[in-house]
């Protein structure tokens, strides 16, 4: 996995972005995004109320609460992705696919994503 370096984000900045996320969740734009019932990552279908807001570039990695950086996703994907950047998330999913292919089950095992460097 490639190494990514980023500047530390202050707790104050994270709290400001979380506040913006709470505000964005109240908008019709977000309600419409969630109403599709589609998880951005696994493409599974879920009741809208079960979809969470995920920051594609996580707040702790310098991401912002903007319409271009938030997506609806299921809780399982959100819990697994955590703080990973898009490329790291894709590498993690590819690792799971390879493990699944190697064990012949066809079902990816649940595992914690690797820690970023």
Question: Which region among 11-25, 62-76, 84-98 has the lowest average model confidence (pLDDT)?
Answer: 84-98
Question: Which region among 51-55, 58-62, 101-105 has the lowest average model confidence (pLDDT)?
Answer: 101-105
Distance from C-alpha of 110 to C-alpha of 115, rounded to nearest angstrom:
15
Domain boundaries, the chain: 11-103
Pairwise pLDDT comparison (41 vs 102), residue with the higher score: 41
CATH topology of domain 11-103: DNA Binding (I), subunit A (1.10.30)
Over residues 4-41, the pLDDT tens digits come to 556 789 999 999 999 999 999 999 999 999 999 999 99
- Answer yes or no: are the C-beta atoms of 23 and 61 closer than 8 Å: no
What tokens does 48 get?
């809208």
Residues 6+ apart with CB under 8 A from 51: 34, 37, 39, 72, 73, 74
3 state SS of 20: helix
**Mean pLDDT value across residues 94-106:** 81
């Amino acid at each position: 996995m490639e190494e990514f370096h980023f500047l530390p984000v202050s707790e104050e900045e994270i709290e400001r972005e979380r506040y913006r996320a709470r505000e964005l969740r109240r908008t019709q734009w977000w309600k419409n995004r969630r109403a599709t019932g589609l998880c951005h990552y696994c493409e599974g279908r879920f009741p809208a109320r079960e979809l969470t807001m995920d920051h594609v570039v996580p707040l702790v990695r310098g991401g912002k609460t903007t319409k271009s950086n938030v997506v609806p996703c299921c809780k399982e994907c959100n819990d697994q992705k955590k703080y990973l950047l898009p490329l790291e998330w894709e590498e993690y999913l590819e690792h799971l696919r390879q493990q699944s292919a190697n064990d012949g089950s066809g079902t990816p095992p649940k595992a914690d994503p690797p820690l970023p460097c």
